């Protein structure tokens, strides 16, 4: 238990979700409570007694997120409803507490997996593992970031649109804007073109780590595949991009095995992209400004397509189903080997090397970041 | 011959604003029926489905399965009949002749929808008719009809004969021949399979129950219901095991065959091995292509997990495939399909049937495959000759043959097709389940294998005690609201709680539902303790602690460490609020408003 607590404390720090280890308290419970600190606060003991959960994180997010929360709380008292599709699907909304007493926190967490405390701290729970509480924490930070910057963008480009989108008017905060950094690494990661199954596995693992390390995406948002011989090698569902060792499914292209029921939710799209483009390397992540800018220009409906300069934007749901991405994304990828999914994230592919796919994803994010700055006149 | 017609009075469908469940009490001795409202506080505390049945069975917890006074309870959930995805489920409950425990089985089909339309949340049947009966409910009328259906009539014919009366639940020849694991079949395809509920129904001389109604479900907030339905559908779409390329939506539960083989946890040769080399003979791909499968599904369910082959014959589900296949070292797909059909047509639980045959094969040092296997199943259903002992299940068979260790069962119920050496949460869950070895009470396969909603280490007991306890509570709630457990490979209580609010108007949060599940599960455990069950019964067969499974490339399948298992079980008791002997404490019962 303590090893797991240390692991996720480290990840909170490494991904910039908290500024220091002292800002986060992590707890896991089987029949006793394990804690990242020497004490278990009364609130946490109470929450474990009234909630059927195995883990709790209480953490003060890093300064950027804290500022974002402060701004959003001001305009959305009581509840913040994310606008990106991943958060809409998995989080729904985030309760904002007016008071920090036991009952208020418990009431919020009886309804949702995470909430925001009056001081801007984020409290999350996991029903099964601490990883869930971490993923929810990370997801809330992502959702709030996208919500804030989208609202600021909408506020900057005209009030008529605000009403259409039912978002609040938010003045850009100089403190937050001063913390905006251009995306991507200065030094590009080195990727190889694999020539054996072992190298395929190694390359996928390495690419996942490098993509997260670059800061382009958060670890729990995305998936990756490489097609070699008669198989697609693809990251498993609920696998962190920077921890893919042993979590890659080998999927027969002829559909003769059903082992892929543990594969990424987007496997159908990966297969079809490969079929249509013959690209072997496919990378998907959620670079934040690509997501934000995909929503600029108004709502989209399933099947619609538009462009942000030359970047196709398509609209479809995560995974399969009648409105699934699989029906709209592959044809857009055929056009330009990259596309943004409305309110969701970017797909990029390349014939042989993940480096080209990574570059495409990075360039889109840089372009979106620059466009954003221009639009809000930073 | 129509014997008695009972009119149980005018009433309206519960509009859910007042949460008092409608219960039709049917007495087969007097051939009368009366409708009563279950008080609102009780209804709210147990929700419906499995929950309200558990409460009703707790009124007289010492009854034996074959006593006339023993209730056989058909109960739907508050969401049954709504537009929420995968909410067309109900439960059938009683005391099990196979295990001696309380038992309850979730079942799909049209019966739950017709009960909703007839305005009935619960049908509570007691007594024993002098002659075999068909009980038919049409709106607010009950008909008791003596029938001359013979013992050996295939269930297919019974359903054909009665289908004009709406939805049908019926028992087949296996039940009338005394099979301890006979099932109740609904609409010919859906089985309340485990634990011998069919024998309870047959012991009442009740051949079939039919229900037809024409009322509409009152939903408090249709707009919110649509929001919840949309949220749930999004999560289904995002779940690879539900709507993925090879998910249940496409291949039914047969999609698990390849995965269980590759994870080296496919029970083979009566659990002496965990890998069957010829598993591809009955893979989902093979079944789907050779049997030209098409889909069937429950009301309002987009998953449509049931498959039927040419001519409309139902195709087996994963556990059936694996146990008539690997467990019996049988690679003949046609015989697996036929064995499944014989079980369904006679009304027998396929898991126990297949496992009992595998047990006999081990004791005799033989293999029963192909047509021999099918003949064995037919003999079992007949209750004649060897069938007389086979129909008692593997525990009694193995004891009778002087080889008690050959029965792969917990509390006399045979272990399903997930080898516990390959998933330690499953190992614990088999033992703590309140109806014997059941994969569905805690369903840890979701996170130990399918990585939903997150993955856990399948070879570790770390954290599993609390995980299993919470999952048992959650699944008790799922069974009580009328939802399907497959839905929770994608969605969660968060979305279904909003659905509850929409349908019933009740201010109920996801954690409230899980706590209600805790109340239901703890009551089940307490009832079992009253019936003589305790810590000694919460254990796996010795094989799993002594013999390794079949290892594969980079994957060793070790025996389960018994002391680690026992430590996890002790933690589980502590978390569940039980004594060291596994009995719920009075304090815990009071906390859950059970005492």
Encode pLDDT of A206-225 as tens digits: 999 988 888 888 867 899 99
pLDDT at residue B347 greater than cutoff 80: yes
The share of chain B scoring above pLDDT 90, in percent, equals: 88
Q: Give the C-alpha separation, B354 to B360, whole Å.
A: 10
Region B270-279: what's the mean pLDDT?
A: 98
Determine the structural domain holding residue A312 and report its residue range.
197-375
Inter-chain contact B494–A113, Cβ cutoff 8 Å? yes
- Which of A3-12, B7-16, B32-41, B569-578 is predicted least confidently? B7-16
List, as ranges, residues 456-515 from B with C-beta within 8 Å of A.
456, 462-467, 470, 473-474, 492, 494-495, 497, 509-512, 514-515
Task: Give chain B positions within 8 Å (CB) of A54.
Answer: 463, 466-467, 470
- Let me know whether A173 and A309 are in one domain: no
Task: Give chain B positions within 8 Å (CB) of A317.
Answer: 234, 237-238
User: In this structure, is residue B536 part of a structural domain?
Assistant: no
Q: What is the pLDDT of residue A326?
A: 93
Give the nearest partner residue to B512 out of A110, A264, A319, using CB atoms: A110
B592 → chain A, closest CA residue? A50
Task: Give chain B positions within 8 Å (CB) of A131.
Answer: 454-455
Give the nearest partner residue to B473 out of A30, A31, A52, using CB atoms: A52
CA angle B475–B479–B481, rounded 5-degree value? 115
- Let me know whether A301 and A262 are in one domain: yes
User: In this structure, is residue B257 part of a structural domain?
Assistant: no
For an interface test with A, the pick among B285, B466, B491 (most A C-beta atoms closer than 10 Å) comes out as B466
Encode pLDDT of B396-445 as tens digits: 999 999 999 999 999 999 999 999 999 999 999 999 999 999 999 999 99
Q: What one-character DSSP code corresponds to residue B39? A: P
List, as ranges, residues 504-523 from B with C-beta within 8 Å of A.
509-512, 514-515, 518
Mean pLDDT, chain B, as a whole number?
94
H or E element that contains B90: strand B90-95
Q: What is the pLDDT of residue A378?
A: 67
Predicted confidence pLDDT, tens digits, chain A (378 residues): 888 999 999 999 998 999 999 999 999 999 899 999 988 999 999 999 999 999 999 999 999 999 999 999 999 989 999 988 888 888 889 999 999 999 999 999 999 999 999 999 999 999 999 999 999 999 999 999 999 999 998 888 864 444 555 567 777 788 888 888 777 665 666 678 888 898 999 999 999 998 888 888 886 789 999 999 999 999 999 899 999 998 999 999 998 899 899 999 999 999 999 999 999 999 999 999 999 999 998 889 998 999 998 999 999 988 878 899 999 999 999 999 999 999 999 999 999 999 999 999 999 999 999 999 998 876
Q: What is the pLDDT of residue B466?
A: 95
- Token pair recorded at residue A270: 């990966």
Task: Give chain A positions within 8 Å (CB) of B425.
Answer: none
In contact, B559 and B421? CB cutoff 8 Å:
yes
Inter-chain contact A262–B246, Cβ cutoff 8 Å? no
Round to the nearest angstrom and report the end-to-end CA distance of chain A.
46
In contact, A317 and A90? CB cutoff 8 Å:
no
List, as ranges, residues 250-269 from B with C-beta within 8 Å of A.
251, 254-259, 262
Q: How deeply is B59 buried, as exposed, middle or buried, from its count of CB atoms within 10 A (0-12, 13-18, 19+)? A: exposed
For an interface test with B, the pick among A30, A222, A239, A345 (most B C-beta atoms closer than 10 Å) comes out as A30
Give the nearest partner residue to A128 out of B247, B257, B456, using CB atoms: B456
Domain with residue A93: its CATH number is 3.40.225.10
- Token pair recorded at residue B576: 């569940």
Encode pLDDT of B462-489 as tens digits: 999 999 999 999 999 999 999 999 999 9
Inter-chain contact A52–B251, Cβ cutoff 8 Å? no
Q: What is the pLDDT of residue B13?
A: 43
pLDDT at residue B168 greater than cutoff 60: yes
List, as ranges, residues 253-312 from A with C-beta within 8 Å of B.
255-265, 267-268, 271
User: In this structure, is residue A186 part of a structural domain?
Assistant: no
Q: What is the pLDDT of residue A377?
A: 77
The HSE-up count of residue B147 (CA atoms within 13 Å, CB side) is 21
A132 → chain B, closest CA residue? B454
User: In this structure, is residue A315 part of a structural domain?
Assistant: yes
Region B351-369: what's the mean pLDDT?
A: 98
Q: What is the pLDDT of residue B256?
A: 96
User: In this structure, is residue A191 part of a structural domain?
Assistant: no
Q: List b or e across B552-578, with b for residues whose CB sees 16 or more CB atoms inside 10 angstroms.
A: eeeeebeebeeeebeebbbbbbbbbbb
Q: Give the C-alpha separation, B556 to B422, whole Å.
A: 9
Q: What is the pLDDT of residue B10?
A: 43
Please, which pLDDT band fits residue B2 given cuts at 50, 70 and 90?
A: very low
- Measured in degrees and rounded to the nearest 5, phi and psi for residue B347 equal 80, 65
Task: Give chain A positions within 8 Å (CB) of B239.
Answer: 237, 265, 319
Closest CA–CA distance from residue B572 to any residue of chain A (Å): 8
**Between β-strands B206-212 and B133-138, what pairing exists: parallel, antiparallel or unpaired?**
parallel
Give the nearest partner residue to A260 out of B246, B254, B453, using CB atoms: B246
In contact, A135 and A128? CB cutoff 8 Å:
no
- Let me know whether A97 and A239 are in one domain: no
User: In this structure, is residue A188 part of a structural domain?
Assistant: no
- Let me know whether A23 and A147 are in one domain: yes
B491 → chain A, closest CA residue? A90
Q: Give the C-alpha separation, B228 to B565, whole Å.
A: 39
In contact, A40 and A65? CB cutoff 8 Å:
no
Question: Number of folded domains in chain B?
Answer: 1
CA angle A333–A338–A340, rounded 5-degree value? 100
Closest CA–CA distance from residue A315 to any residue of chain B (Å): 14
Domain with residue B188: its CATH number is 3.60.9.10
Q: Which residues contact B258 (CB under 8 A, 6 or more apart)?
A: A257, A258, A259, B279, B283, B284, B285
User: In this structure, is residue B141 part of a structural domain?
Assistant: yes
Closest CA–CA distance from residue B231 to any residue of chain A (Å): 7
Based on its alpha-carbon atoms, the radius of gyration of chain A, rounded to whole angstroms, reads 21
In contact, B500 and B483? CB cutoff 8 Å:
no
Region B534-547: what's the mean pLDDT?
A: 97
Question: Number of folded domains in chain A?
Answer: 2
- Which of A151, A179, A207 lies at the terminal end of a domain, its last residue? A179
A314: left (phi over 0), alpha (psi -120 to 50) or beta: beta
CA distances in angstroms from A122 to A44, A95, A109, A114, listed in the order given: 13, 10, 11, 7
Determine the structural domain holding residue B55 and report its residue range.
2-212
B498 → chain A, closest CA residue? A111
For an interface test with A, the pick among B224, B231, B240 (most A C-beta atoms closer than 10 Å) comes out as B240
Give the nearest partner residue to A257 out of B285, B453, B462, using CB atoms: B285
Q: Give the C-alpha separation, A112 to A134, whole Å.
A: 14
In contact, B145 and B134? CB cutoff 8 Å:
yes
User: In this structure, is residue B23 part of a structural domain?
Assistant: yes
Inter-chain contact B463–A238, Cβ cutoff 8 Å? no
- Token pair recorded at residue A93: 């909304």
Q: Give yes or no for A66 touching B (CB within 8 A).
A: no
What interhelical angle do B464-481 and B424-432 show, nearest 10?
60
Inter-chain contact B259–A262, Cβ cutoff 8 Å? yes
Inter-chain contact B463–A255, Cβ cutoff 8 Å? no
Give the nearest partner residue to B453 out of A128, A271, A319, using CB atoms: A128
In contact, A346 and A368? CB cutoff 8 Å:
no
User: In this structure, is residue A185 part of a structural domain?
Assistant: no
Q: Which residues contact A42 (CB under 8 A, 6 or more apart)?
A: A102
- Let me know whether A282 and A155 are in one domain: no
H or E element that contains B502: helix B493-504
pLDDT at residue B11 greater than cutoff 70: no
H or E element that contains A357: helix A354-375
User: In this structure, is residue A336 part of a structural domain?
Assistant: yes
- Let me know whether A96 and A59 are in one domain: yes
Q: Give yes or no for A250 touching B (CB within 8 A).
A: no
- Let me know whether A103 and A161 are in one domain: yes
> Would you say how long chain B is, in residues?
595
User: In this structure, is residue A187 part of a structural domain?
Assistant: no
User: In this structure, is residue B66 part of a structural domain?
Assistant: yes
Inter-chain contact A89–B235, Cβ cutoff 8 Å? yes
* Size of the A and B interface in Cβ pairs below 8 Å: 168
User: In this structure, is residue A190 part of a structural domain?
Assistant: no
């Amino acid at each position: 238990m303590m090893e797991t607590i240390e692991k996720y404390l480290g990840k909170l720090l490494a991904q910039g979700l908290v500024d220091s280890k002292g800002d986060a308290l992590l707890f896991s419970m089987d029949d006793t409570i394990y804690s990242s600190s020497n004490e278990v606060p009364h609130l946490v003991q109470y929450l474990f007694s009234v909630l059927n959960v195995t883990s709790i994180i209480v953490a003060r997010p890093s300064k950027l997120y804290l500022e974002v929360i402060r701004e959003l709380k001001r305009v959305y008292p009581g509840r913040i409803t994310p606008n990106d599709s991943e958060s809409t699907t998995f989080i729904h909304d985030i309760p904002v507490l007016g008071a920090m007493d036991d009952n208020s926190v418990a009431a919020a967490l009886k309804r949702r997996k995470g909430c925001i405390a009056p001081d801007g701290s984020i409290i999350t729970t996991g029903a099964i593992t601490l990883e869930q509480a971490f993923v929810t924490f990370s997801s809330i930070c992502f959702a709030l970031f996208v919500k804030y910057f989208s609202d600021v963008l909408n506020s900057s480009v005209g009030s008529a649109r605000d009403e259409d989108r039912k978002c609040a008017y938010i003045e850009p905060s100089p403190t937050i804007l001063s913390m905006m950094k251009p995306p991507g690494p200065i030094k590009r990661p080195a990727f190889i073109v694999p020539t054996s199954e072992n190298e395929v596995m190694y390359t996928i693992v390495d690419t996942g780590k490098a993509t997260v390390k670059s800061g382009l995406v958060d670890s729990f948002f995305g998936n990756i595949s490489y097609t070699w011989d008669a198989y697609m090698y693809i990251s498993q569902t609920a696998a962190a991009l920077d921890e893919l060792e042993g979590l890659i499914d080998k999927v027969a292209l002829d559909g003769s095995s059903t082992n892929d029921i543990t594969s990424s939710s987007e496997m159908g799209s990966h297969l079809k992209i490969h079929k249509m483009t013959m690209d072997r390397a496919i990378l998907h992540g959620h670079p934040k400004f690509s997501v934000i800018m995909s929503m600029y220009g108004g709502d989209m409906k399933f099947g619609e397509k538009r462009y942000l300069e030359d970047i196709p934007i398509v609209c479809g749901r995560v995974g399969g189903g009648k409105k699934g991405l699989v029906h709209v994304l592959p044809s857009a990828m055929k056009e330009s080997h990259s596309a943004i999914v409305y309110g969701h994230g970017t797909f990029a592919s390349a014939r042989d090397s993940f480096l080209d796919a990574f570059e495409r994803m990075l360039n889109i994010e840089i372009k979106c970041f620059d466009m954003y700055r221009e639009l809000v006149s930073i | 011959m129509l014997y008695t017609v009972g009119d149980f009075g005018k009433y309206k469908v519960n509009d859910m604003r007042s949460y008092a469940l409608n219960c039709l009490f049917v007495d087969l001795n007097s051939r009368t029926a009366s409708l009563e409202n279950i008080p609102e506080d009780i209804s709210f505390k147990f929700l419906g489905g499995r929950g309200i049945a558990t409460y009703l069975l707790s009124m007289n917890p010492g009854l034996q399965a074959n006593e006339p006074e023993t209730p056989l309870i058909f109960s739907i959930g508050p969401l049954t009949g709504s537009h929420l995805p995968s909410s067309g489920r109900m439960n059938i409950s009683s005391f099990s002749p196979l295990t001696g425990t309380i038992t309850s089985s979730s079942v799909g089909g049209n019966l739950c929808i017709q009960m909703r339309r007839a305005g009935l949340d619960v049908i509570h049947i007691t007594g024993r008719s002098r002659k075999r009966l068909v009980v038919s409910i049409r709106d607010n009328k009950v008909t008791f009809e003596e029938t001359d259906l013979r013992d050996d009539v295939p269930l297919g014919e019974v359903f054909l004969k009665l289908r004009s009366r709406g939805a049908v639940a019926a028992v087949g020849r296996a039940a009338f021949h005394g099979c301890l694991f006979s099932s109740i079949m609904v609409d010919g395809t859906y089985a309340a399979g485990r634990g011998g509920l069919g024998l309870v129904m047959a012991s009442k001389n009740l051949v079939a129950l039919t229900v037809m109604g024409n009322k509409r479900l009152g939903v408090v907030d249709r707009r919110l219901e649509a929001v919840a339905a949309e949220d749930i559908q999004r999560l289904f779409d995002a779940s690879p095991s539900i709507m993925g390329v090879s998910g249940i939506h496409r291949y039914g539960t047969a999609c698990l065959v390849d995965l269980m083989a590759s994870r080296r946890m496919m029970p083979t040769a009566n659990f002496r091995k965990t890998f069957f080399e010829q598993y591809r003979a009955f893979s989902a791909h093979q079944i789907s292509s050779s049997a030209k499968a098409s889909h069937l599904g429950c009301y309002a369910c987009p998953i449509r997990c049931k498959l039927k082959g040419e001519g409309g014959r139902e195709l087996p589900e994963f556990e059936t495939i694996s146990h008539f296949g690997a467990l019996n070292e049988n690679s003949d797909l046609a015989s697996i399909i036929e064995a499944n059909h014989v079980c369904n047509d006679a009304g027998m639980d396929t898991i126990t049937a297949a496992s009992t045959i595998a047990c006999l094969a081990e004791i005799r040092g033989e293999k029963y495959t192909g047509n021999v296997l099918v003949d064995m199943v037919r003999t079992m259903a007949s209750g004649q000759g060897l069938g007389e002992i086979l129909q008692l299940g593997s525990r009694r068979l193995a004891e009778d043959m002087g080889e008690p260790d050959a029965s792969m069962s917990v509390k006399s119920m045979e272990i399903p097709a997930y080898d516990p050496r390959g998933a330690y949460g499953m190992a614990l869950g088999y033992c703590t389940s309140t109806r014997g070895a059941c994969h569905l009470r805690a369903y840890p396969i979701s996170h130990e294998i399918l990585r939903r909603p997150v993955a856990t280490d399948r070879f570790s007991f770390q954290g599993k005690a609390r995980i299993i306890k919470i999952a048992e509570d959650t699944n008790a709630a799922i069974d009580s609201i009328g939802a399907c457990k497959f839905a929770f490979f994608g969605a969660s209580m968060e979305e279904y709680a909003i659905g509850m609010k929409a349908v019933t108007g009740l201010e109920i949060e996801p954690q409230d539902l899980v706590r209600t599940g805790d109340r239901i599960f703890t009551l089940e455990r307490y009832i079992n303790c009253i019936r003589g069950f305790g810590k000694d019964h919460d254990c796996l067969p010795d094989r799993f602690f002594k013999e390794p499974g079949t290892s594969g490339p980079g994957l060793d399948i070790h025996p389960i460490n018994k002391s680690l298992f026992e430590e996890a079980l002790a933690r589980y008791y502590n978390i569940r609020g039980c004594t060291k002997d596994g009995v719920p404490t009075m304090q815990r019962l009071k906390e859950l408003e059970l005492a």
